[in-house]
Amino acid sequence: MTTTRSATCAQDALGRKDGTLSCRVLIVGGGLAGLTLAARLGKAGLPVIVADRESKKARAALPFDGRTTAISFGSQQVLDGAGLWRPLLPDAEPILDIRIADDRQPLFLHFDHREMASESDGAPFGHIIENRLIRLAQFAALDDLKSVTHLAPATVTAIDRTDEAVAATLADGTQIKAEIVIGADGRGSMVRQDASIGFRRWRYNQHAIVCTIAHAKPHAGLALEHFMPEGPFAVLPMTDAPKAKGAGVDHRSSIVWTERPARADYFLGLSVADFNKALNERMGDYLGRVRLLGDRFRYPLGVLHARRYTDMRMALIGEAAHAIHPIAGQGLNLGLRDVALLSELLIDRARLGLDLGDRGLLATYERRRRPDNATMLATTDLLNRLFSNRVLPIRAARGLGLEMVGRLPPLKRFFMRQAMGLGLR
């Protein structure tokens, strides 16, 4: 097993006896949500151990996999509190406008970030950042936090939770003692399974084709969500990048192109030239000529929602608790809202010298996070089913709905607040 540089310091502070480590919070899973939680707790001085199945070196070396994240205004505050936002800012492209269009109908809905100035002081709706860059910033931040031990690779094979404490066993025999264990280990969560927590799950007959494109015209911070019968087609603004030969820059955007599986096979099987032709036909000319940059990636789409988020001395965050359709780009943002609340509750109790595995704390976390997550899951599912068809009465209702949102300021403001990741209020 290897550890980060911060792990060596943390082990001296936390103590290791006969293959046993102790901490206050054990986080199982080293994804974007789990590492953000570790950083927020670490900045508050809480002794934290992260058990990460993949080696840090291997994950740091992973090439761009096509995935970007729309970091909402609300999530930006969470990352800032973890010491992550400042290093990410140079590679974060602001979302200044959002345009929502329905198939070939002439009507579209337009959100302008300036309409939310009273709540956000003129900040953009959010920023688009490559997932790979968020991960690298997290690794760097954890290296500087002496109270955080990042064990990687480390696989948790058993968890024993009692009224008094948590004891976890790693594959190499290392024992970890903690007051609470956090499941941040994704859709197939071992922590969730260990607590016998069931879940609802369904898959869509949709795959997302994800890639980055270069285009002739600048995007001006516009994010486009174009609903098509096969599924949404999103164009998300990215930062410019130097051209390969050093001659100027490429204007870049991220594409999330939803198709039925067979059609996804077809488009992924095209040559680069033919794929570029299909992209230009789908997008029109608002960005000028477009071309593929790098590889194309495919991700099957589905939904998962745990029947509860907590158990004795255990809480779930991120995709261990909920995974949604990417139609609104809110998946990680929901996980970061989990992180914001849970870190606040844990830090407040730690300052008072109280047990972090308290049942009341866990009940508060469940009560406050479940409505927001359930609402966003239901909303994205409804939007996907409503817009991914050609049924004429439904198409007419959709057009009327878009027009109503555009004409009714309170309704429009509600949707803009969701886009900014401000949740339910």
Q: Is residue 386 part of a domain?
A: no
Helix (H, G, I), strand (E, B) or coil at 41: helix
Query: Phi first, then psi: what are they for 245, rounded to 5°?
Result: -95, 10
| C-alpha–C-alpha distance, residues 393 and 131, integer Å | 39
Q: Is residue 336 part of a domain?
A: yes
* Domain of 189, in residue numbers: 5-64+135-200+305-377
Q: Which residue has the higher pLDDT, 378 or 399?
A: 378
pLDDT tens per residue across span 127-173: 999 999 999 999 999 999 999 999 999 999 999 999 999 999 999 99
Q: Is residue 271 part of a domain?
A: no
Output the domain CATH number for residue 29: 3.50.50.60
**Range with the lowest mean pLDDT among 101-105, 321-325, 403-407, 417-421?**
403-407
pLDDT over 90 (residue 61): no
Q: Is residue 169 part of a domain?
A: yes
pLDDT over 90 (residue 351): yes
Number of folded domains that form the chain: 1
Q: Which residue has the higher pLDDT, 58 or 8?
A: 58
Query: Quick check: bond before 153 cis, omega within 30?
Result: yes
pLDDT at 399: 67
Q: Is residue 196 part of a domain?
A: yes
Q: Is residue 364 part of a domain?
A: yes
Q: Is residue 118 part of a domain?
A: no
Q: Is residue 211 part of a domain?
A: no
pLDDT at 400: 65
pLDDT at 106: 65
Confidence at 211, pLDDT banded by 50, 70, 90: very high
The CA distances from residue 259 to 156, 235, 267, in Å, are 37, 15, 9
Q: Percent of the chain scored above 70 by pLDDT?
A: 89
